[in-house]
């Protein structure tokens, strides 16, 4: 008989790290003739999100946008924590508006795909509408093992005593877990982990932006019930290919650099280092003798990041920086930069999207995790042979300052490591195979879409 065109609604969470993979997934589904409704919580936290969204929607007119208007901010619970986590909470509190929105869509939905941070909020809603609900986990499968296990590891006073051990997999030591999870008191991140982690078992499936050849053991452990006995299938659909929809900003400086000579330095969209660490890093980059392109970030949220480079770096350092590299404060399309032939290395916080863009482009990584899932990701990155991680650098938080000499030495080592360069290219080929014709991720996604057609 006639197969119907599936109609799927996507609900991303706050921050570029969540929005970007959702946009890529939306584009991918659209290319498989799935009709897509993209629900956008409004307002967004950052300017980057709202700009990225509007560029995307212009480039993909076939994708329908529905706005979820967030309830006004309640001053009494104004946040002292991360503004992005707080926004998760805001979206959660506005979620009762979802039910009428979803049921008004035409044609009726075949399925919904929700960001992991809304698992516990959205599942009851989609359940009451009789709608299959898939959770999109926007980090690594390794991190997923912690996400679904965390609530089972809690001891008295909600503390964690042990490392996470899964038979057949390397442990996740406590020291690599997101620091707020180890606090005795509850905080937004910890509450999200517990509540959403518990509910993951009730979803129709879990999509992960990863692929077989880098996380086969972890994916097998998840799907064989070794992590948690009752888990729906975990479906690897990555690495999600970047979709260019932004007007490209050609950097003349980069075009003038020798092939593979430039280290790209950037720590994600929501990490601000201390002023002292920023200057130490700048000094280290200059002393390494390598060329570098450095995105300097002084505040967590881009709208507040208005201090001039001269003030952040100081005039003297800025002059030295200009001789060897390019420092800037504006938002550039990271994926586009990583694909530039002049880029030969990436000093990264190891946000999962950054890593997936690095392996997609075959760029060596020097890890410097800053918070959240980044140590777990950095470990995985090092194991697959994409780069190196100096664990003594810690979390890049405000307590320890990594000195310029250390940075200079480590940077020049990685830029001179030809073995890593070759390995990175091999990883790139495998990554592209996974999503090519007959690739493991392509097949999994096609099978999933087929179930929506019935």
Output the CA–CA distances (angstroms, integers) from residue 217 to 152, 168, 222, 384, 409, in the order listed.
Answer: 21, 8, 9, 12, 34
Q: Assess 352 for contact with ligand BUP (CB under 6 A).
A: yes
Find, among 252, 245, 285, the residue nearest to 266 by Cα.
Answer: 285
Interface residue with ligand BUP, options 8, 335, 342, 368 (CB under 6 A):
335
Burial 175-206 (b: 16+ CB within 10 A, else e): ebbbebbeeeeebbbbbbbbebbbbbeebbbb
Distance CA 277, CA 296 (A): 11
Output the CA–CA distances (angstroms, integers) from residue 246 to 25, 51, 58, 255, 287, in the order listed.
Answer: 16, 9, 10, 19, 34
Q: Assess 17 for contact with ligand BUP (CB under 6 A).
A: yes
Find, among 390, 433, 253, 24, the residue nearest to 425 by Cα.
Answer: 433
Question: Of the listed pieces 27-35, 275-283, 350-358, 413-421, which binds ligand BUP according to CB under 6 A?
Answer: 350-358
- What is the DSSP code (8-state) at residue 431? H
CB of 45 to ligand BUP, least distance (A): 11
* Of 336 and 413, CB closest to ligand BUP: 336
Known catalytic membership, residue 426? no
CB of 268 to ligand BUP, least distance (A): 3
Q: What phi, psi does 75 have (nearest 5°)?
A: -60, -30
* Of 283 and 373, CB closest to ligand BUP: 373
What is the size of the binding site for ligand BUP (CB under 6 A)? 22
* Of 344 and 372, CB closest to ligand BUP: 372
* Of 7 and 82, CB closest to ligand BUP: 82
Closest residue by beta carbon to ligand BUP: 17
Interface residue with ligand BUP, options 178, 325, 344, 351 (CB under 6 A):
351
Distance CA 390, CA 410 (A): 8
- What is the DSSP code (8-state) at residue 1? -
Q: Assess 333 for contact with ligand BUP (CB under 6 A).
A: yes
Structural element, H or E, at residue 367: strand 364-367
Q: Assess 18 for contact with ligand BUP (CB under 6 A).
A: yes
Site for ligand BUP in 292-331 (CB under 6 A): 295, 331
Site for ligand BUP in 361-400 (CB under 6 A): 372
Interface residue with ligand BUP, options 117, 269, 361, 444 (CB under 6 A):
269
Distance CA 135, CA 197 (A): 11
Q: Assess 213 for contact with ligand BUP (CB under 6 A).
A: no
* Of 110 and 334, CB closest to ligand BUP: 334
Distance CA 160, CA 178 (A): 12
Q: Assess 239 for contact with ligand BUP (CB under 6 A).
A: no
Question: Of the listed pieces 17-25, 190-198, 379-387, 413-421, which binds ligand BUP according to CB under 6 A?
Answer: 17-25
* Of 212 and 336, CB closest to ligand BUP: 336
Question: Of the listed pieces 116-124, 199-207, 269-277, 283-291, which binds ligand BUP according to CB under 6 A?
Answer: 269-277
Question: Of the listed pieces 111-119, 167-175, 226-234, 349-357, which binds ligand BUP according to CB under 6 A?
Answer: 349-357
* Of 227 and 381, CB closest to ligand BUP: 381
* Of 210 and 334, CB closest to ligand BUP: 334
Q: Which residue is catalytic, options 115, 283, 302, 305?
A: 115
Q: Assess 20 for contact with ligand BUP (CB under 6 A).
A: yes
Q: What phi, psi does 208 have (nearest 5°)?
A: -130, 135
First-to-last C-alpha distance (Å) of the chain: 10
Angle at 156 between CA 155 and CA 158, to 5 degrees: 70
DSSP line for 86-100: HHHHHHHHTGGGHHH
Interface residue with ligand BUP, options 266, 290, 327, 414 (CB under 6 A):
266
Distance CA 283, CA 318 (A): 9
Known catalytic membership, residue 115? yes
Distance CA 150, CA 140 (A): 15
Q: Assess 354 for contact with ligand BUP (CB under 6 A).
A: yes
Interface residue with ligand BUP, options 9, 10, 11, 16 (CB under 6 A):
16
DSSP line for 135-156: EEE-S-HHHHHHHHHGGGSB-G
Catalytic residues: 18, 115
Binding site for ligand BUP (CB under 6 A): 15-18, 20, 266, 268-271, 295, 331-335, 351-354, 357, 372
């Amino acid at each position: 008989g006639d197969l119907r065109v599936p109609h799927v609604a996507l609900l991303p969470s706050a921050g570029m790290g969540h929005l970007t993979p959702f946009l890529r997934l939306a584009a991918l589904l659209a290319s498989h003739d799935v009709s897509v409704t993209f629900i956008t919580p409004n307002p967004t936290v950052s300017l980057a999100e709202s700009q990225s969204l509007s560029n995307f929607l212009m480039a993909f007119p076939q994708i329908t946008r529905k706005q979820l208007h967030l309830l006004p901010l309640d001053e009494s619970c104004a946040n002292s924590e991360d503004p992005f986590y707080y926004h998760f909470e805001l979206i959660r509190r506005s979620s009762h508006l979802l039910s009428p929105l979803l049921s008004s869509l035409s044609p009726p939905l075949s399925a919904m795909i929700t960001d992991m941070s809304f698992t516990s909020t959205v599942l009851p809603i989609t359940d009451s509408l009789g709608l299959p609900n898939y959770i999109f986990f926007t980090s690594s499968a390794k991190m997923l093992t912690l996400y679904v296990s965390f609530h089972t590891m809690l001891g008295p006073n909600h503390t964690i005593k042990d490392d996470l051990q899964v038979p057949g997999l390397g442990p996740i030591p406590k020291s690599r877990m997101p620091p707020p999870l180890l606090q005795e008191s509850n905080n937004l991140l910890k509450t999200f982990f517990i509540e959403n982690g518990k509910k993951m078992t009730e979803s129709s499936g879990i999509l992960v932006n990863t692929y077989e050849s880098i996380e086969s053991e972890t994916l097998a452990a998840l799907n064989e019930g070794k992590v948690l006995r009752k888990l729906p299938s975990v479906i690897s659909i990555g690495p999600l290919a970047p979709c260019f929809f932004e007007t490209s900003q050609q950097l003349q400086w980069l075009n003038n650099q020798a092939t593979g000579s430039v280290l790209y330095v950037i720590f994600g969209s929501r990490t601000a280092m201390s002023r002292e660490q920023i200057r130490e890093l700048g000094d280290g980059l200059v002393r390494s003798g390598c060329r570098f392109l450095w995105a300097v970030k002084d505040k967590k949220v881009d709208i507040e990041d208005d201090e001039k480079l001269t003030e952040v770096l100081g005039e003297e350092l800025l002059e030295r920086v200009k001789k060897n590299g390019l420092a800037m404060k504006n938002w550039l399309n990271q994926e586009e930069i990583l694909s530039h032939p002049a880029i030969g290395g990436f000093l990264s916080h190891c946000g999962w999207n950054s890593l997936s863009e690095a392996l997609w482009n075959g760029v060596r990584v020097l890890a410097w995790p800053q918070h959240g899932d980044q140590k777990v990701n950095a470990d995985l990155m090092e194991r697959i042979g994409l780069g190196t991680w100096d664990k003594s650098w810690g979390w890049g938080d405000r307590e320890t300052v990594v000195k310029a000499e250390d940075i200079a030495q480590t940077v020049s080592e990685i830029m001179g490591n030809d073995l890593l360069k070759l390995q990175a290219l091999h990883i790139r080929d495998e990554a592209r195979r996974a999503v090519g014709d007959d690739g493991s991720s392509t097949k999994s996604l096609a099978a999933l879409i087929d179930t929506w057609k019935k």
